[in-house]
Amino acid sequence: MANKVGIASYGMTKFSRDDIKIESILLESTKNAFQNCSNLNQKDVEAVLVSTNNNSKYLSAVLSEISGIKPKISHSVESLCNSGTNAIVSAYSYIASGLADVVLVAGAERYDSPGQVLEWDNSRGEFKHPIFWASIFTKSYKREYNVRDEELALVSIKNHHQSIKNPNALTKKEYTLDEIMNSKKLTDDLKLLDCSRPCTGGASIVLASENTINHLTDSPVWITGIGQKTTSASFTKNITFSAMESSRISANSALKMSKHKADQIDVIELHDAFSVCEPMALESIGVSSKGKGLELVKEMIVTDSPKINPRGGLMGSGHPLGATGIAQTIEITQQLQSKAESRQIDNPKIGLVHNMSAASTSSTVLVLEN
Amino acid sequence: MNVESELEKGNFVVGECLKCKKTVWPPSDYCSLCFGNVSIKDGPFQGKIIEFSKQGNDYFCLVEFNENVKIIGKITGETPQINQNVMVKKCGIQNGNYFFEFISS
């Protein structure tokens, strides 16, 4: 039987547009993860995984050396924007299989990450920048469900509002509907404030087996569900442009593994790379029915509930690709530990992380419980 | 001679598996279904606009040629419509990047 796997500690850096070496970002969040867990010693860590799209080489060995760890297993994980949760899944697998007992997963990215554009995807022609797939998704969603730009802007309003309470967020600035609607027009279907912003940032998490975790923390959070699905690498291979098929499949798998249903989830971090991604993800995960995702967003605003993207999502927090999935997982962990301070929702028991890459051609979903 | 070299010359062609006849797109060395060798399948190919948007004065469209071939390209001189029939007017490879331009058909 597979070992149970929990989250023992975590550390973050502030998200910024600063010019910082990738190794320094990795080390800072790792240092914070150690300082957050007084019983954790470097010699406990048997595997070090680095999640990044940065071109620097051998980063897991470099991070191991500069943080005083001599792991049995060390390597990098790259999968564009869902590198972070994919690295967590790899760490989970090492522990569940018994190959390692304690694993450090460190994610980092710089503002100038090469992971922002998938050069290989020539079926996008000259329209390779993510704003083009986001425009196609947005137009398709608006057409399918008769949605107006003003309604999609609510996602940006909500998530920027929630980022005010996130001490590590990039912008920490609220925007009005007018400001969003009048922000720079990137295409007919996408404005600047409909987009998350690449940035510099790091996030580290320490996973441990059930046997060890009680020595490290008195409030472990367990990973009880995992779903991953890659449907393609090409954006144009998506079977629909108004829903996220890989997210639907991975959410189904994760919920099935955790033995929960979507309506039992108390708090969600989802991958709002662009405004339209939030309702599409809510519908694909099964939290909202088709075409109704924005109704839930409106309800969250009216009730001032931070249940969806409490740290401000990618739009409010910033999107350091390799760190994003780990930062999302840390937010849900803090929520389940009732350590989210002013962002805290009432007594959550079950949380979900949705992290995806390249126009939802690949998605990872985690279910966490305390 | 392969699909990319034809695209480079401005000829819109796709790949076809010599073994199972599956269309191979984007260009690849082998068929993704049976790993068979790939030959060139010539056009002309008729496509339909399935989505579009606009940047500045330029429309960009997602066009479906068949279930395995969807590409994004420009359309100039007309306002695109969903389900509009189009063909590739121009294509090529510039600095490693493909480009496509469509025209009504």
Q: CB neighbours of A7 closer than 8 A, spacing ≥ 6?
A: A205, A206, A207, A220, A221, A222, A223, A329, A333, A368
The label of the residue with tokens 């190794």 reads: A23
Average of per-residue pLDDT across A5-17: 98
Tokens standing for residue A303? 């009730």
Tokens standing for residue B62? 């997602």
Chosen for mutation from B51, B57, B66 (greatest number of chain A CBs closer than 10 Å) is B51
Question: What are the CA-CA distances from residue A124 to residues A8, A120, A139, B60 (Å)?
Answer: 42, 9, 16, 10
Helix locations, A121-203, DSSP H: 130-145, 149-163, 177-181
Residue A1 has pLDDT above 80, yes or no: no
Backbone angles phi, psi at A322, to 5 degrees: -70, -20
Select from A173, A166, A180 the least CA-distant residue to A15: A166
Name the residue ranges covered by the structural domains of chain A: 5-115+198-216
- What are the beta bridge partners of residue A102? A208
The per-residue pLDDT for A224 is 98
The percentage of chain B sitting over the pLDDT mark of 70, rounded to a whole number, equals 99
- Tally the C-alpha atoms within 13 A of residue A176's C-alpha that lie toward its C-beta: 3
Query: What does pLDDT average to over chain A?
Result: 97
CATH topology of domain A5-115+198-216: Peroxisomal Thiolase; Chain A, domain 1 (3.40.47)
The predicted complex's ipTM stands at: 0.96
Largest CA distance in chain A: 57
Contact A132 B51 (CB under 8 A): no
Q: CB neighbours of B35 closer than 8 A, spacing ≥ 6?
A: none
Residue A136 sits at the chain B interface (C-beta within 8 Å): yes
The type of residue at A302 is V
Which residues of chain A does B71 touch, with a Cβ-Cβ cutoff of 8 Å? 123-125, 236
Tokens standing for residue B16? 């076809």
**Segment holding A208, helix H or strand E:** strand A201-209
Contact criterion met (CB below 8 Å) for A105 and A355 = no
Residue B44 confidence class, pLDDT cut points 50, 70, 90: confident
Contact A136 B51 (CB under 8 A): yes
* DSSP one-letter code for A39: T
The per-residue pLDDT for B77 is 85
B69-75 and B58-66 as β-strands: parallel, antiparallel, unpaired?
Answer: antiparallel
The per-residue pLDDT for B43 is 82
The per-residue pLDDT for B95 is 87
Q: CB neighbours of B98 closer than 8 A, spacing ≥ 6?
A: A122, A123, A125, A126, B7, B71, B91, B92
The per-residue pLDDT for B66 is 80
Contact A241 B50 (CB under 8 A): yes
* DSSP one-letter code for A123: G
**Segment holding A63, helix H or strand E:** helix A59-66
The per-residue pLDDT for A288 is 98
Residue A191 sits at the chain B interface (C-beta within 8 Å): no
- What are the beta bridge partners of residue A195? A274
The burial of B83, by beta-carbon neighbours within 10 Å (0-12 exposed, 13-18 middle, 19 or more buried), is given as: exposed
Contact A132 B60 (CB under 8 A): yes
The per-residue pLDDT for A2 is 78
Q: For residue range A126-156, what is the model confidence (pLDDT) as tens digits? A: 999 999 999 999 999 999 999 999 999 999 9
Residue A14 has pLDDT above 80, yes or no: yes
The per-residue pLDDT for A129 is 96
Residue B67 has pLDDT above 90, yes or no: no
Q: For residue range A32-91, what is the model confidence (pLDDT) as tens digits? A: 999 999 999 999 999 999 999 999 999 999 999 999 999 999 999 999 999 999 999 999
Tokens standing for residue B60? 């960009």
Tokens standing for residue A187? 């295409």
Which residues of chain B does A187 touch, with a Cβ-Cβ cutoff of 8 Å? 53-55
Q: For residue range A243-301, what is the model confidence (pLDDT) as tens digits? A: 999 999 999 999 999 999 999 999 999 999 999 999 999 999 999 999 999 999 999 99
